[in-house]
Amino acid sequence: MGAQMSTMTPAILALADGTVFKGTALGASGETTGEVVFNTALSGYQEILTDPSYRGQMVTMTYPHIGNYGINPEDNESKQPWLAGFIVKEACPYPSNWRSRQSLDEYLRQHGIVGIQGIDTRALTTHLRDHGSQQGLISHTDLDPARVIRKAREAPGIVGRDLVKEVTCAKTYQWTESSGVWAQPNGHARHPFKVVAFDFGIKYNILRRLVDEGYDVTIVPASTTAEEALALNPDGVFLSNGPGDPEAVPYAIAAVRALLGRKPLFGICLGHQIMGLALGLQTYKLKFGHHGANHPVMDLDTNKVEITSQNHNFAVRGGDSAAASHATPWTTPHGRVQLTHQSLNDDAVEGMRCLDLPAYSVQYHPEASPGPHDAGYLFERFTKLMAKGKA
């Protein structure tokens, strides 16, 4: 009954540019602000809700029916949902799945997440594509369009904000859980390498995949220095995904810069961007970001196309321009850096490797939860890099 009652309450979504959408309430009652983005995944809404990379953002699902298979504790990607708000066309009040434990609306209310449903999410997505991601406000309590637009315009953006400090762990800990019955066959021997993983907003499935490879995994807070990480005597260092502007975490950039050449490094998503800045490259904000589980990426080593899971609003720019080339490495203060993967949607840098140092990174999510597993080989590459370093 709770899910039905909330759908009777009017709600409003206003964007900073003055665009207004009227719908009905979803989730916790109240008001919330954040940068409005859209995600094109057809499923995996629970993993999206619990992805710390969405801190500071309100997510629009482009697929019209969300919540059909409910919520269960096994599919969480972190301890709680982190996003600022949730926007859907239609939230299913009566999920049908043997694994379901509660409805989407119940879950959002339980965790205090304000949402809206009943709006034209296709129109909203088209608007964001044309005009870019921007600050917005969802309100169940103030339905005056002029006031809500003004509050959306006054809301803080994500550029320059350190959102990592809001999602990282408070202290160092060990992770031992594997993917279990969901594990992908890797066809190679397990190597008990010791890996230190920087938690910039790390997802559980990344940690599971690291354990699947046989690693002894220690997670450290984002503020950990290079010397503190090295004191744990790792064979390699992993740089995780996370939210927001990579330039807003100078302490992490400094730590990675000090680790370059001292231990093998593997970065994903925000970790990729932080590595780029540590190497002396640049980052920039995309118009509406990459959020979905179906983004085509070209592996420039093999000329094979990978279908990838992505969630980021910033990207790495190689050299002095946005142009990138696999054949011509970029020259940085730390040696040559080669472009390895490129987006087939907008040519954005999706992967790179250092030619003179044991370090590489990708912008997308090879652990893909949710999403395809085309890029799972990247974890095996980390194993080979550490084996070479140890030899």
The residues assigned a catalytic role are: 269, 365, 367
Query: Which tokens is 299 given?
Result: 């592996």
**Among candidate residues 354, 342, 279, 340, the one with its CA nearest the CA of residue 315:** 342
Count CA atoms closer than 13 A to 273's CA, side-chain side. 26
Residue 216 host element (H or E): strand 216-221
Q: What is the chain's length?
A: 391
Listing DSSP states for 294-327 in one string gives: EEEEEETTTTEEEEEEEEEEEEEE-TTSS---SS
Q: Tokens 């029916």 correspond to what residue? A: 65
Q: Where are the beta strands (DSSP E) in 113-248?
A: 114-117, 134-139, 173-175, 194-199, 216-221, 236-239
Which amino acid is it at 290?
A: H
Q: Tokens 């339905």 correspond to what residue? A: 143
Beta pairing partners, 251: none
